[in-house]
Chains A and B, each alone.
Chain A
Amino acid sequence: MSASSASGAARAASPSPPPPRSAPRRMELRALGGVLHREWVVFTRYWRSTTFSAVVEPTIFLLAFGFGIGALVAEVQGMAYLDFVGTGVVAMAVLFASVFPAMFGTYVKRRFQHTYDGILAAPIDVRELVTAEALWIGVRSGTYGLAPLLVASAFGLRPGWAVLLVPLIGILTGFGFAAMGIFLSSVVPSIDSFGYVISALVTPLFLLAGTFFPLENLPGWVAAGAVVNPLYHTVELVRGAVFGLAGASPLGHVLGLLVFAALMWTAAVVGMRRVLID
């Protein structure tokens, strides 16, 4: 350290007057903003690779299923199969863009990079940290969820005005699955354990949600079980928004996603508090 910097340091090091007291129990927007800003800055470094995988993978699913199965099945539930799968893949895109970064990203930041130790030394608590992380991933995945719709539109999908609600559905879904991923990252013993989670949980979630085929054709107990699959509610809401399907009220599906998000957020806060605070 140079002599000039040492003299500068004397000026620079003087403590500042105390900032306003922060509320001990309240969730503070300033705290969320700090974490969100960090995520944004990191994202500006990696947005190309992140966006590539989040957009290209669902698009491949859409084209492969849409044209592969679509050649064999003309219509499903009164709509062209490409339209059916195009809306279903929105939910899958949101799931993949939320649960995977939440599981792996959170685990790496906690166990290997110790990022959260640094953040929690600042005036931020675990609740705010989890909320900001889930919110960031939720907004990002909700945005990425639009990609399959754009691709399907290029192949003839003509959505109604309510398609504007799809990002909101995606954000709510993404928030819930991000919180789920954060919670799982706090309970797995090692990063390799995510293999079990993907095979036993994530794969059934996206296959048994009405994404690629209607659930009515499945055994009754599977179809009934889909009600507890949050992604099923996302699929129904997205199809309802895009095609304006009459009949079913969206409120039950919205409520299902809200309950899921609230439960997963609570689990994530408890789980992360357990592993981050001694």
Chain B
Amino acid sequence: MSATQPAIALRGVTKRFGAITAVDRLDLEVPAGICLGLLGNNGAGKSTTMRLLTAQAIADEGAVEVLGHALPRESKAARARSGVVPQRDNLDEELTVAQQLEVFARLYRVPRRERDSAIARALELADLAARADTRIDALSGGMRRRLLIARGLVHRPELLLLDEPTVGLDPQVRQELWSLIVTLRDAGTTVVMSTHYIEEAEELADDVAIMARGRVIDRGAPAALVARHAGAEVRELTGDARALAHAETQARALGLPTRRRGPQVAVLRAEGLDGQLGPGRTRPAVLEDVFVSVTGEEAT
């Protein structure tokens, strides 16, 4: 892969499952060394996109290239240089932590002379050195998640694919994993992370690609997306149904996008409104406002 070559390039990729089009003419390019967040609700096509990148799903149309290898023909070569952390826990319950890492060090073709140090490094990375001889079925949920990440990194891949890495984890463990992902990205690993947690994408991703109905609707740095779609401030208005409907009509007349959220209406690009549209509070615009604005869907 040359310095200017993207780590990932998808061009016009379509993947169908019967009548359902999971990925629809997707174009996506990921430069090397960044963390890209694929943000979307369930069914947006994120997981299918991740499986296309390992050739565990084959595109019906279009071209997929990973680390300079055309898939599916050169998928083994691409997978040798990639690490995968699946959404679904598929650890070998009956093995110990160290055994699991050794199995994957072999599967990922880490040379024999480097295998012990690779396992030690992965244990250190996941903070599991003290648990090396613990059976996996005795680990906590957070430890299992860290082991999944360590397993995907045992061969020091250039590209790490994280499919919903923190789903179902408690906030403390999530923070730990976020630190680890930042560390990896800072060390030069290209990270592609699918998530439906907006704050996760906002926190970790250099670039966010918002997916809906199998396509990337918009893409950019989180701050740039926010500035583009939601402006600097959001005004959250409260009141009875009639007042809210009136406020929405007024905001639209001013060319400002709105979103309904329970008993509130949020008016985007509200900087400079200066108390117009009725009582409420003003807050900084966030990525969630963008997500709802461009997809028309509330985040799940």
Contacts and interface: CB of A to CB of B under 8 A. Distances in A.
B64 to A, nearest CB: 13
Contacts of B124: 5, 8-9, 12
A170 B135 CA distance: 34
Interface string A24-53: 100010110111011001100110000000
B156 A16 contact: yes
How many B residues touch the partner, as a band? 35 or more
A41 B95 contact: yes
Contact of B156 (A15, A38, A115, A118): A15
Given A16-B156, A113-B93, A41 B103 contact: yes
Contacts of B99: 41
A45 B74 contact: no
A276 interface: yes
A206 B83 CA distance: 45
Nearest to B67: A18
Contact of B81 (A9, A19, A278): A19
A6 interface: yes
A117 B95 contact: no
A15 B156 CA distance: 5
B183 interface: yes
B51 A13 contact: no
Interface stretch (A121-129, A152-160, A196-204, A215-223): A121-129
Interface stretch (B106-114, B204-212, B246-254, B270-278): B106-114
Interface string A118-148: 1111111100000000000000000000000
B76 A278 contact: no
Given A41-B102, A120-B54, A18 B81 contact: yes
A42 B95 CA distance: 7
Name which of A22, A34, A121, A276 has the most chain B CB atoms within 10 A of its CB: A121
How many A residues touch the partner, as a band? 35 or more
B122 interface: yes
Contact of A117 (B15, B56, B146, B157): B56
A125 B103 contact: no
Closest 3 CB pairs of A and B: A16-B156, A278-B57, A114-B90
Given A19-B155, A115-B92, A121-B56, 19 more contacts: A1-B127, A1-B180, A5-B124, A8-B125, A16-B155, A16-B156, A18-B67, A19-B81, A19-B109, A21-B74, A24-B75, A24-B76, A34-B108, A113-B93, A114-B88, A117-B88, A119-B107, A121-B152, A276-B56
8 contacts: A16-B157, A22-B76, A41-B102, A118-B104, A118-B151, A122-B80, A122-B107, A123-B109
Interface of B: 1, 15, 17, 48, 51, 54-58, 67, 73-77, 79-82, 84, 86, 88-95, 99, 102-104, 106-109, 121-122, 124-127, 146, 151-153, 155-158, 176-177, 179-180, 183-184, 186-189
